[in-house]
Amino acid sequence: MSIKRALVSVSDKTGIVEFCRELSQLGVEIISTGGTKNLLAQEGVPVIGISDVTGFPEIMDGRVKTLHPAVHSGLLAVRDNEEHTRQMKELGLDYIDLVVVNLYPFQETIAKPDVAYEDAIENIDIGGPTMLRSAAKNHAFVSVVVDSGDYGKVIEEVRAEGDTTLDTRKKLAAKVFRHTASYDALIADYLAKQTGDPLPERYTVTYEKIQDLRYGENPHQAAAFYRAPLAPAGTLTTAEQLHGKELSYNNINDANAALQIVKEFSEPAVVAVKHMNPCGVGVGSTIAEAYNKAYSADPVSIFGGIVAANRTIDAETAQPLSEIFLEIVLAPDFTPEALEILTKKKNIRLLKMGELTSAEGRASVHVVTSIEGGMVVQESDVHSLSEADLKVVTKRQPTEDELKQLLFGWKVVKHVKSNAIVLAADNMTVGVGAGQMNRVGSAKIALEQAGDKTQGAILASDAFFPMGDTVELAAKHGIKAIIQPGGSIKDEESIQAADEAGIAMIFTGVRHFKH
């Protein structure tokens, strides 16, 4: 066997002229369509039009050109099947040994913010995937290339042996089916959103690999980092790493947790995260002040953590950041002076995020969690609370400052693993209790961490109090205001405990479980 005829039809023409010129020099006859044919002819590469093969013109603005028996019999014929061979000869058909196709730019089209529905539909390729699937199915005899990165290997093998190896054809075919599956998944997702069916009967998603990771959560687990095709700016998948070694699996998860919290704030804010829970959150008039508060919230736990800021890191902020061990600092940008300070630390990873969209401006996305044998899918929690949503249920009203701290604490507790309790004062967290099996247990951890900072602080709880014990414990430590969803059958018990202690308590009507 040898490659004698190739069918070439590409939207992305990267490297195609050079590839086809080499094929032609190796004696391969090239068939092509539309713009690809015109380009090859202009560049002096011998080329045959698809209509000369099919005996039928390209019609309907090019919608129908390769959907023809003269094409697909040449791709699908089993070369060692006598009946197939007889039919090919009787009908005067020729084999096609190599297919080089990439598809209409559907992803690039729908990525345009003002794309019209009609334009998106017009960029759904039909003939391309059909040729790819035919050739990939018959990879025992046909080579198929969908990625320009494979041109070099194909040329190398054809030059050496006249054909690709079976092992190469298998790998190329597998890549084709991954590519067409991804292409169709993107179309399915787009149409599901257009028709208002975000959680359809079949859930198809596609991601592209950014990089292999050294290992997963633990060294014995393999892992890789993938990006959604239309990943928005201001996410880890679009971040620019300015300094430091590669991100690890745990780095990525922790950094994402920090990023989601810092996006809750429109004012200058800094978040420190360890093991996907915030250990310190601060808000200030400057990013330096915000960092000082985040650091002061828990100067022990921040060691070896991830720090996220929603403003450019300047020299005033970079200096204290450089004085402790941190895995990652991520921010919209870094001043040259800040980079000079921070890059003196060899291993710190610096991520430039670009502009960050605060919680109020974010659309919900799907959160996919794998379970054995399947997965569960939900919308992301982008709910934002306003003062109009609040219901004061106690005799005492919160003061203006308490209300400000309550809303601050509520933004943070939303991102703490349940059961979650956050204590806050002076625009910073002073205690965080996370992931305990009962709510009063989380409260005890947060109160112990805060120490004497509990006096006059507020308490935020991600879900309702099942009984009054958490309020009673908070009262003993000088907590002055509480924010919680409400909705327990024993709400009155908590309200009564708050009234007896002179605590102001607000119900939000919304819970923020995070598992």
Active-site annotation, residues = 137, 275
DSSP-assigned beta bridge partners for residue 384: none
Q: Contact at 8 Å (CB) between 444 and 454?
A: no
Q: Contact at 8 Å (CB) between 423 and 409?
A: yes
> Residue 68: what are its φ and ψ, rounded to 5°?
-150, 145
User: Could you tell me the two tokens for 58?
Assistant: 């390209």
- CA neighbor of 479 nearest in space, from 458, 501, 495: 458
Q: How far apart are CA 340 and CA 344, in angstroms?
A: 7
| Residue length of the chain | 515
- CA neighbor of 248 nearest in space, from 168, 328, 166, 176: 328
Q: State the sign of the Cα–Cα–Cα–Cα dihedral 431, 432, 437, 439.
A: positive
Identity of the amino acid at 114: D
Identity of the amino acid at 43: E
Q: How far apart are CA 101 and CA 177, in angstroms?
A: 13
Q: How many CB atoms lie within 10 A of CB 220?
A: 7
DSSP-assigned beta bridge partners for residue 295: none
Q: Contact at 8 Å (CB) between 488 and 465?
A: yes
The answer to whether the bond into 102 is cis (omega within 30° of 0) is no
Q: Distances in Å between the alpha carbon of 13 and those of 17, 37, 98, 177, 481?
A: 8, 11, 17, 21, 64
Q: How far apart are CA 254 and CA 170, in angstroms?
A: 38
- CA neighbor of 35 nearest in space, from 94, 99, 104, 98: 104
Q: How many CB atoms lie within 10 A of CB 317?
A: 29
Q: Distances in Å between the alpha carbon of 74 and those of 26, 134, 139, 383?
A: 20, 10, 13, 56
Q: How far apart are CA 98 and CA 118, in angstroms?
A: 33
Q: How many CB atoms lie within 10 A of CB 279?
A: 24
